[in-house]
């Protein structure tokens, strides 16, 4: 009897463990589903004019809310299964968060200010601080709470610019303001492109001081260096780039609305549309069960190089756009 009872208990424990593992697998697959890109929203005044800045601020709000409200919520700081075993979605969240932080900073320092001596908007100042909270903190402060507070401050700023009787809060859709944000985007995409390309080991020339014969740097470096992203980090970099492109796609669609007059004057609408097309391509469905890391012309595909191609093309479009905006 004791032997049979022990076997029955062992079977029950085995079935329970199997059910727990299966449930975690199902949850991890469900929670790994990436959100769809967001369409811009507009609002008009009583006279029928579009409220400048409404699309951009709403896109920022919706992007943050989508990350917080998606299946599983914010999982980058979750210390429990299955989140603790997942790395693709946390990488996606971090990539999107970096773009959110860049736009929040530009809202505070550029889009809401007319000149360098103008006063910062208090709500945008608070929002930027909230979004800069460590995304992996799981106790105090909790990023979910802080990011929701940041959204509230953006909503208050949006309410102020939507009020025609409140001249103190403004969103300035100017070419120079847009250029300042695009310069940050260039650096973000350039870094992602380099890290994605490094999925295949390559030897690169050191161009850190190129173009300036009098330039110096802190520590001497070799003329060439071997660049290679760790095999363990390949999928993380891929999904970070995917999340960054997702958030940037949301923002570029909104920029196309709020800066329509500026873009039309510079004849730059086509440039923005092409950037959006390249970013949309980064969100194509990945049918492979894992991110492949084949050599450049090898038998297996290299998903990182494909992503790097789309991001490089988007970055080239942004560089061209900044040149157009800088012209008189």
| pLDDT tier at 159, thresholds 50, 70, 90 | very high
Q: Is 48 exposed, middle or buried (0-12, 13-18, 19+ CB in 10 A)?
A: exposed
For 134, residues 6+ apart whose C-beta sits below 8 A from its C-beta are 143
The string of pLDDT tens digits covering residues 164-223 is 888 889 999 999 999 999 999 999 999 999 999 888 766 556 566 555 555 567 776 666
Q: How confident is the model at residue 139 (pLDDT cuts 50, 70, 90)?
A: confident
CA 261 from centre of chain = 26
Residues paired with residue 33 on neighbouring β-strands, in sequence order: none
* Residue 153 backbone dihedrals phi, psi, to 5 degrees: -65, -35
Q: Is the pLDDT of residue 224 over 80?
A: no
At residue 212, the pLDDT reads: 52
- pLDDT beyond 60 at 158: yes
CA 219, chain centre distance (Å): 32
pLDDT for residue 290: 84
**pLDDT in the model for residue 2:** 58
Q: What is the pTM of this model?
A: 0.91
pLDDT, residue 200, reads: 77
55 and 66 Cβ atoms separated by less than 8 Å: no
Q: Phi and psi (nearest 5°) for 246?
A: -60, -50
Mean pLDDT lowest for which of 39-43, 132-136, 161-165, 230-234? 230-234
Poorest-pLDDT segment among 66-80, 142-156, 205-219, 247-261: 205-219
Nearest to 195 by CA among 127, 95, 266, 62: 95
Note the pLDDT tens digit of each residue in 72-116: 999 999 988 888 888 899 999 999 999 999 999 999 999 999 876
Phi, psi of 54 (to 5 degrees): -65, -40
Residues paired with residue 111 on neighbouring β-strands, in sequence order: none
The Cα 328–Cα 322 span in angstroms is 12
User: Which residues have a Cβ under 8 Å from the Cβ of 237 and sit 6 or more positions away?
Assistant: 91, 192, 195, 196, 199, 229, 304
Summarised one tens digit per residue, pLDDT across range 256-288 is 999 999 999 999 999 999 999 999 999 999 988
Using pLDDT thresholds of 50, 70 and 90, give the confidence band for residue 154: very high
Residue with tokens 């946390």: 90
Q: What is the pLDDT of residue 328?
A: 61
Element (H, E) at 28: helix 2-31
State how far the Cα of 306 lies from the Cα of 120, in Å rounded to an integer: 41
7 falls in which pLDDT band (50, 70, 90)? confident
pLDDT (0 to 100) of residue 103: 98
């Amino acid at each position: 009897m004791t032997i049979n009872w022990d076997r029955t208990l062992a079977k029950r424990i085995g079935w329970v463990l199997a059910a727990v593992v299966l449930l975690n697998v199902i949850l991890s697959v469900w929670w790994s589903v990436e959100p769809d890109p967001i369409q811009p929203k507009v609002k008009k005044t009583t006279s029928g004019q579009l409220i400048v800045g409404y699309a951009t601020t709403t896109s920022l709000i919706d992007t943050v809310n989508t990350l917080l409200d998606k299946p599983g919520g914010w999982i980058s700081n979750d210390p429990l299964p299955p989140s603790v075993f997942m790395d693709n979605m946390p990488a996606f969240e971090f990539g999107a968060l970096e773009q959110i932080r860049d736009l929040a900073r530009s809202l505070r320092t550029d889009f809401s200010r007319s000149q360098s001596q103008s006063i910062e908007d208090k709500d945008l100042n608070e929002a930027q601080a909230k979004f800069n909270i460590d995304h992996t903190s799981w106790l105090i402060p909790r990023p979910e709470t802080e990011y929701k507070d940041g959204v509230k401050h953006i909503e208050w700023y949006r309410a102020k610019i939507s009020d025609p009787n409140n001249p103190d809060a403004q969103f300035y859709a100017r070419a120079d303001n847009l250029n300042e944000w695009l310069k940050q985007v260039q650096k973000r995409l350039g870094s992602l492109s380099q890290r994605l390309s490094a999925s295949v080991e390559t030897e690169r020339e050191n161009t850190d001081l190129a173009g300036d014969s009098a330039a110096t740097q802190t520590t001497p470096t070799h003329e060439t260096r071997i660049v290679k992203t760790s095999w363990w980090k390949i999928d993380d970099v891929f999904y970070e780039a995917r999340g960054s492109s997702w958030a940037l796609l949301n923002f570029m669609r909104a920029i196309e609305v709020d800066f329509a007059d500026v873009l039309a004057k510079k004849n730059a609408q086509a440039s923005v549309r092409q950037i959006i097309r390249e970013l949309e391509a980064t969100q194509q469905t990945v049918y492979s069960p894992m991110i492949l890391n084949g050599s450049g012309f090898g038998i297996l595909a290299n998903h990182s190089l494909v992503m790097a191609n789309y991001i490089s093309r988007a970055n080239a479009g942004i560089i061209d756009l900044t040149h157009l905006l800088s012209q008189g």
